[in-house]
Amino acid sequence: MDIYSRFGLRPVINVSGTMTSLGASIVAAPVIEAMAAILPQFVEIDDLQRKASAVIAQACGSESGYVTASCSAAITLGIAATMTGDDSGLIERLPDTSGLRNEVVVQTGHLVNYGAPIDQSIRLAGARVVPVGAATESHGYQLSAAINERTTAALYVVSHHTVQFGLIHVEEFIALAHAKGVPVIVDAASEYDLTRFIAAGADLVLYSAHKFLGGPTAGIVAGKKKLVRAAYFQNSGIGRGMKVGKEGIAGAIAALEQWQQRDHAAVRARERSYLELWREALNVRPGVRAEIDADPTGNPLDRLKLSIDPREARISAWDLADALAHPPAGSVPVIVRDHEAELNFFFIDPCNLHPGQEHSVLERLLDELERAQQAPHPLITPFFQRDARRGAGRRNWPD
């Protein structure tokens, strides 16, 4: 019996990307083997983390590293490390930060929701968020002015969720924070380049093992040994509830090793062929403009941007996305990257497709577009109703 039948789940095709809500990514066979091999065994976790530290240091060009529960956990524990160092008494006192440096500066345009508010990850450590600048504009002088004797860290967020213009670039952000003696933590959860931010001078850089690396759910902390050690020691404090098991550590190690052996050019070529297949077939449809679009944070990958003119297509971008996700009986659900569907476009990401699914994706798109053309009335609903529907559905869980 396959896993879908066993748990009563519907199979879905993921063209949204490495989204946690869909299981993040396809885990490579060598990673699965490493996790399966360690699960029946007993190991000393500190020793396994020492092995992880060496692998992370080699892959990221850092002094040290360790594996935690997730990148979200890594933010909380990294912030905690800057406040407590390796002082066991302070570690056990968190989230009480009275008398400690406890302010974290972060650009307002980086205060996003990645499934939870990023500022909550900071506040969980007992720290206080100090926003810098406005949502779409911040400057170096504002960052410098926000740093004072209470500042414990500066957090920089690299994500497609953040504002992609008008903000302080990472190199300037690091230089300004360091000029004031403040360590910089970079949240690079879904970034390809494992060495860029350490090379730029960041003190801690945080990655998700379960996104582009294709590993298990885990967070990777890389950086200066003193801060990495202080973050690791949070496992005896607020990090206890964020601990990672032996299988997560072994899987993250294997994922990092596989990443360095992967034929990235071949992966890109395969994904490009999917994008071109979709673009050629969809650009001839009424009200549809299909363009190959580069990743906004500079990762070496592309997605297909589908812009929908609801007057000609007779369906809105968000209604099309919903129709793909909730098809008629007998059709496979297709989940697209629809964070910006309100602007009448969404993306199709090929990075998590199994062989042959590129054709299923195209078939489903063509079916829904044709269904809209044949419908007696345009399939267009107000966007606010969609948000309300989604909220109501979530609140009904687990029913």
Tens digits of per-residue pLDDT, 131-175?
999 999 999 999 999 999 999 999 999 988 888 899 999 999 999
DSSP strands (E only) in the chain: 13-15, 64-68, 103-107, 128-132, 151-157, 184-187, 204-208, 219-223, 288-294, 302-308, 334-336, 345-348
Distances (CA, A) of 323 to 99, 201, 243, 332, 340: 54, 46, 39, 11, 16
The top-level CATH class assigned to 264-395 is alpha beta
Q: Are strands 334-336 and 288-294 parallel, antiparallel or unpaired?
A: unpaired
Handedness of CA 111, 117, 122, 127 (dihedral sign): positive
Q: What is the pLDDT of residues 220-236, one digit of tens each?
A: 999 999 999 999 999 99
Q: Across all residues in the chain, what is the average pLDDT?
A: 94
Which residue type does 334 have?
A: V
Q: What pLDDT score does 181 carry? A: 97
Q: What is the pLDDT of residues 269-282, one digit of tens each?
A: 999 999 999 999 99
Q: What pLDDT score does 21 carry? A: 85
What stretch(es) of the chain map to CATH 3.40.640.10?
A: 27-261
Q: What is the pLDDT of residues 378-399, one digit of tens each?
A: 999 998 888 888 888 778 888 7
Six token digits for residue 323: 């129709």
DSSP string, 239-293: GGGG---HHHHHHHHHHHHHHHHS-HHHHHHHHHHHHHHHHHHHTTSTTEEEEEE
The topology (CATH level 3) of 27-261 is Aspartate Aminotransferase; domain 2 (3.40.640)
- Residue where the block lists tokens 């506040």: 123
Contacts of 377 (CB under 8 A, 6+ apart): none
Max CA distance (Å), the chain: 69
**256 contacts 56 by C-beta, under 8 angstroms:** yes
Six token digits for residue 397: 């869980």
What stretch(es) of the chain map to CATH 3.90.1150.180?
A: 264-395
Among residues of the chain, what percentage have pLDDT more than 70?
100
Parts of the chain with a pLDDT under 70: 1
Q: What pLDDT score does 298 carry? A: 84
HSE toward the beta carbon, residue 2, CA cutoff 13 A: 5
CA distance 68 to 48: 12
Which residue type does 269 have?
A: A
CA distance 170 to 107: 11
